Structure 1
Amino acid sequence: MARAVLFGGGLILVAAVGLVVWRGSLFNRDEEPTNLVFEAVKRGPLEITITERGNLESAKNDTIVCMVEGEAGTGILKIVDEGTRVKEGDLLVELDSAKLKNDQTAQEITKEQAAATLKTAEKNVEIQETQNASDIAAASLKVELADLDLKKYKEGDYVQELDTVEGEIKLAQEELTRAQDKYAFTKRLAKKGYAKQSEVEADRVAVAKADISFQVANKKKEVLENFTKERQEAELEANAKEFKRELERAELKAKAALAKYEADLKAAQRTFEVEKSKYDKVEEQIKLCKIYAKRDGMVVYVNTRAGGFRGSTEPLIYEGAKVKERQPIINLPDVTDMQVNARIHESKIAMVHIGLPATIHLDAQAGETYHGEVSMVSLVSSSGNWPNINLKEYITFIKLTDSVDKVSQLKPGMTAEIEILIDRLPSVLQAPVQSFVERGGRHFAWTLVNNKLTRREVKVGKSNEQMMEIVEGLSEGDRLAQTPRTVLVKEIAQLETDVPATVESPTAELKAPAAAPAPGGARGGPGGAPPGGGGSPGAAGGGAGNPAVAGGGEGGGRRGG
């Protein structure tokens, strides 16, 4: 639409500055048109521009997003009116937190129950540790006592018993020796008649008795050394070993019991942590129901439109609406740093690069001009919407460079028309783009020579949406027939016969322009095109209603860059 307006304006301008209308007196009425419009080739400055439309937005935009979880969404209780200018810390949105508060109460009960279970588990561990210490100490004492009993027997009881038995043996031996001496003495007395036979017999019995006592004492020592000692030591050693094994069992039982209670403690700790985490999360979700401004800005609702087949719209953000997790609610743009979000057609994007100057006009502020420069060119194209699904355009940002006071008065969402200055040629031959016809990758124009139309092949250069640079084939002052494809039917038919229609792809030789100095320099300024290396847009494709544009006309001529 912008192109049509520009073209229409261009035709009016051409008429105003002195279009030459040549009527049928120049031609045979049966062979030539009765009405032709001519425009003279002139020399002058030529600005190569791209004009597109876009929307004004902030280059620094904080998006306020709903962070409250829930598949069903959360209702908006209160929201600041759109367009309100807010300060950092102001309340922007309050979401419905009633259900979350109920969940918080229930979760608090569960958390306290988990805390009580954790406390019990901690006490159980302490009790088991004390019980383990007591059991192990008792078993250790038994081991020590068994070792002492064994040592007491070996070094005390046995030695004492052995000394007693050996003393008994000595006494028995003494008694036996005395009895034997008395018996021998009595026998000698009896032979001399001084003792009776009964006394001799009594002494003999006494000897036998003493001998028996001596034998018994020796046997008692033998039993002590060979049997009693071994049995007692074996029994005491077995007791010591058993008590040691009992100590090991006590230690193992203590470890097992403690491990069980420690496992219960860990489970209780984990349960408490989980329940506390749930409680903290619900508490945090309640806090997230109130959203505050992180910085100064102007409130803009994120009313992404959801349209049907006929494009019906429905606002998404309003009091009572439900928003889902991570759904944008408000954009808080910094109105001191604004840019235009425009889409550039793929046929022109190779000419656009960061740093190119641009002028901006807003529909809401007629007659006001703003200035800016290209700040970003997308590397990936965006597909068009239905029905133009094959349309390929590249998102481009044009940052406004006017004073902060001037820019801050603007509002995001305003419709803007941007004109990007690609190059500024100081003095070149030029003619209206509708003067040329492209055929087979070559360009032709019809000029009036001696009151006759003559076809000229022309080498063209760069162009904007109104004028085309002429590199070779025409001179200043040559008069060119306008819209020849519409009015010169026979000449066009002859051209199609003479020149084969071998048309190259309009984007076959497009290259992204290299960074260049500011416009206004020598030929081939911004965009890096060499002199005469501009595009060949071609002629008007179908008359005044379809003017050729930079980088593409009838037949899709190539553009430099």
Structure 2
Amino acid sequence: MTHLTPQKASARLKTFRFARPVPWILTAGVLSVALVTMTGAADTASSPVELGLKLIEPSTFKMQVEKPGIIEPLEAAAVHSECYWTTTILSIVPEGTWVQKGDVVCVLDSADIEDYARTREIILIKYRGRLDTAVQDEQLQTSDNERKLDAAKYRFDTAVHNLTEYQDGTHPQDIEELERNLSLLAEQTQSQREQVQHSERMWAMGMSPRSALDKESLQLMKSQQSYDSLASRLHLLTGYQHPRSMLQLEHSASNAERNLARTKIANGLALTNRRLTRLSYERTVRIYEKYYRRAVDSIEACTIRAPRDGQVVYGNSWHLRSRGITQIEEGKRVRKLQKIFEIPDPSRLKVSVPLDESLIYQVHNGMPVAVTVPGYEDEVVAGRILNIARYPRPRSRYTPNVKDYWIDVELFPTDDQRHLLTPKANVTAQFTLQETPDTIQIPRDAVTGVAGHNFVFVYDGRELKSRKVELGDANAESVLVVDGLKSGEQLVTAMLPAHEQALHEELARDLGVTQ
């Protein structure tokens, strides 16, 4: 409920004014009569006063707001620029042209893009050659790594085999052979020693010559020398040759093992280096392929065709067009994904309307809207709110705090009205925010504010009387009276300024307000 603003008692009396610019409907007539009033502000000698009277009758109070809008298709096949770069429109069919699916509608300038594509193609060919070389180098490196690894494994296996052969085969066999020979020589030496002792006994008995004893002694000495030599060899083998051979073979096996590990690491590093080179060239090739493919696709996108049969409508912004700015025409620059044109479905239309942020909670989806076309104000096209934007948009960059919600109103024209509606045409949408039947409403100018109270003047057939009223909602021209007036009374809507001033002064004195 909106009430009149109280005025200070010491202020000069003035006619009350409202802030909400809403249209009103005046149902009662205004009468002009000549009356002589008998009030304290005018004596009986006063001349007749011109009065404007309005008979108070119940009527429907409406709060309405009108907003300009533009007709747009409810469903349309919109075509946007798929060219990656900002380019220029070389040619475009006139707006409103009927086209068939596949017809060329717009051609964009692709000269710079073609130069860019040729440059990127040359670079792409160069890096593809480098990539092929890198792939071959990686394959050769893989083969070389396999060869080196096989050689290192062979050396390692050979060293391990030699160590095992010596440790488990050759050395035990040599020890066994020496020990066996040493045992035989020991037995042979013992036998020779017994033979010498026998020969000495026989020689001492004179039964054997001295030469036989000397021969047996020489043979014993040779056997003892052979035994000592073989024992020295066994000692040398076990004490010196075997540790040295084991150290050499173990060192060879250890070196072969380290060489195998080193070969694996070197092979991995070399192969990784080749692989990184290949991956680098692959990435470079992919990047330049992307550049080249983007350029080729953009060149193809510079020729824009109709996606369906219908009438071409340029993708100009209604907001910018209202400021005299045209986005779509030959010679204009267009960016990626900017709407170039659309081919609407003529069977369903809508009106896009900006609504003040303060009024958005008084409308809702499905709410009826009356739409009129300039020049055909008598033809009211029925509409219904189809969609309300979730977020407001600033009205302009100069007034960022003033925001509007954009509303889509679906139109339901009759067959006779359909020819009046064309896409991109300006229309006026009228929203009825409030409609209250059987109300008492009076003109806004008939209300006087005094000392924080609202008063009107009524004529009872003999004289004018002030009446305190309680007010409700108001529109641009009228205000609801909640209490203080009733149907059938005559409201004073206009009088001569001098007489009006006198009445106001009298009312102020009655209220004890100082002028």
Under a length normalisation based on structure 1, what TM-score does the superposition of the two structures give? 0.71
Q: Matched residues in 2 for 1:383 and 1:415: separation?
A: 21
Aligned equivalents of 2:179, 2:377: Cα separation in 1: 137
- 1:38 aligned partner: 53
Alignment-mate amino acid for residue 248 of structure 2: E
Deviations 1:174-197 (A, max 9, x none): 4784587479648856974985x6
Per-residue deviation at 1:79? 1.4
Q: Is 1:266 the equivalent of 2:252?
A: no
Aligned pair count? 486
The 1:344/1:267 distance shift into structure 2, 3 A limit, reads closer
> Among residues 79, 84, 87, which one is paired with 2:92 in the alignment?
79
Q: How far 1:395 sits from its partner (Å)?
A: 4.9
Partner Cα distance (2:403, 2:361) in 1: 13
Higher RCO, 1 vs 2 (CA within 8 Å, ≥6 residues apart): 2
1:52-78 per-position Cα deviation (integer Å, ceiling 9, x unaligned):
2412322636554434344xx311012
Quick check: 1:336–1:408 contact (8 Å CA) kept in 2?
no
Kindly indicate whether the alpha-carbon contact (under 8 Å) linking 1:437 and 1:484 is maintained by their aligned counterparts in 2.
Answer: no
Instruction: Report what 1:448 is aligned to.
Output: 459
Amino acid at match of 2:457: W
Judge conservation of contact 1:337–1:407 (CA < 8 Å) in 2.
no
Say if 2:89 is the partner of 1:56: no
Summarize the Cα distance change of 1:83–1:172 in structure 2 as closer, same or farther, 3 Å threshold. Answer: same
1:21 aligns with 2:35: no
In the alignment, structure 2 segments of 5+ residues that lack a partner are: 1-19
433, 436, 448: which one aligns with 1:437: 448
List aligned pairs for 1:330-345, cutoff 5 A: 330=341, 332-343=343-354
Q: Which residue of 1 aligns with 2:252?
A: 239
Distance in 1, Cα, partners of 2:223 & 2:399: 141
- Do the aligned residues in 1 keep the contact of 2:313 with 2:423 (CA within 8 Å)? no
TM-score, L = length of structure 2:
0.76
CA displacement at 1:302 relative to structure 2:
0.8
Instruction: Name the SS for the 2:54 alignment partner.
Output: strand
Aligned-residue offset at 1:205: 4.5
CA distance in 2, matches of 1:164, 1:391: 115
Alignment partner of 1:142 is 2:155: yes
Per-residue CA distance 1:264-313 (angstroms, 9 max, x = gap):
22222222222222222222322332334555554034166879xxx984
Supply the RMSD in Å over aligned alpha carbons. 4.4
Counterpart residue number, 1:68 = 83
Match in the other structure for 1:323: 334
Deviates further, 297-306 or 473-482 = 297-306
Deviation at 1:101, TM superposition (A): 1.6
Give yes or no for the alignment of 1:124 onto 2:137: yes
1:300 to 287, 290, 314: 314
Which 10-residue stretch deviates more, 27-36 or 281-290?
27-36
Range that drifts further, 364-373 or 157-166? 157-166
- CA distance in structure 2 between the partners assigned to 1:497 and 1:328 by the alignment: 69
Q: Quote the residue 2:502 is aligned against.
A: 490
Shift of 1:331: 5.2
Is the 1:436–1:483 Cα contact (8 Å) retained in structure 2?
no
* Structure 1 residues 437 and 242: CA distance shift in structure 2, 3 A: same
Tell me the distance in 1 between the aligned counterparts of 2:73 and 2:402.
Answer: 26
Identity %: 21
**Offset from partner CA, 1:393-430 (integer Å, 9 cap, x none):** 66555432335884475123333333333454444445
Aligned to 1:415: 426
Q: Do the aligned partners of 1:370 and 1:400 also contact (CA within 8 Å) in 2? A: yes
- 8 Å CA contact 1:58–1:334 kept in 2: the answer is no
The 2-side partners of 1:113 and 1:182 are apart by: 100
2:368 matched residue in structure 1: 357
CA distance in 1, matches of 2:127, 2:80: 34
Name 2:4's counterpart in structure 1. Answer: none
Taking the aligned partners of 1:188 and 1:388, their CA distance within structure 2 comes to: 149
2:383 to 372, 389, 398: 372
The 3-state SS of whatever aligns with 1:483 is strand
Determine if the alignment matches structure 1 residue 105 to structure 2 residue 118. yes
Q: Quick one: distance in 2 between partners of 1:480 and 1:117?
A: 97
Please state which structure has a larger fraction of its residues in strand.
2
- Contact residue 360 and residue 418 of structure 1 kept, 8 A: yes
| Alpha-carbon contact 1:363-1:414 (below 8 Å) kept | no
Distance 1:323 1:174, change over 3 A: same
The letter for the 2-side match of 1:436 is V
- One-letter identity of the residue aligned with 1:131: D
